[in-house]
Amino acid sequence: MMIGGGRSSSSSTTATAAGGTWVSAASVSTSGKRIQREMSELNADPPPHCSAGPKGDNLYHWVATIIGPPGTPYQGGIFFLDITFPSDYPFKPPKVVFKTRIYHCNVDAAGNLSLDILKDSWSPALTVTKVLSAIKSIFTNPDPYNPHISGIARLYLTDKAKHDEIAAEWTLRFAK
C-alpha cells in the first residue's frame, strides 16, 4: 500500500534520463549502451579537431569541443558545445547547443544550430561522430539559405570579406 503518493517498489525499474523524463530501465539500457558504444568509437577515432565526452557522470549530457578549422575566420578558436541525448536516442536526435558565442548564420544568439541532420534529416544510423563532423563542416561551408540569423546570411552572400572580418573578431573575442 502506498501512502502519500509515494512510489511502489516497482519504481526501481525506472530512471531519469536527460530532460527529467521517466523511462524504463530497459530503454535507458538500450540508449545507454548505444551512447557508450559511440563514446568508445569517438575516443578511438575522433574527427579532426573535435572531442566530446560525458559531462561528469551523466552519460546523457556531453560537452564537445571543436577547434576552428584553418583557413576560416574561426581558425584557432575553441568552441564548446553541449550535447544532450534524449531517452529514446538514437531514434530521436541529440540536442546540440554552442556554449561559445559565434558569428555564424546557422547559429542563433542562444547557440542553437540550424542543421538538417539534427531535425528532419535525422536517422538512427547517424552517430555523434557524424554529428560533430557535420557541425565542423558549417565552419567551412555555412548554409546561408537555411539561416538562423538572416542578417548574417545576407552579409555572407553580399560581402563575404566583411562577414569574415566580423567572424574573425568574434572568434578572437569569445573563442580564444
In a domain, 7, yes or no: no
Q: What is the pLDDT of residues 83-136, one digit of tens each?
A: 999 999 999 999 999 999 999 999 999 999 999 999 999 999 999 999 999 999
Neighbours of 42 (CB within 10 A): 20
Residue 119: domain span: 16-174
Mean pLDDT of the chain: 88
What CATH number does residue 112 fall under? 3.10.110.10
In a domain, 109, yes or no: yes
- Number of folded domains that form the chain: 1
Task: Tell me the C-alpha distance between 150 and 5, whole Å.
Answer: 50
In a domain, 8, yes or no: no
Neighbours of 160 (CB within 10 A): 13
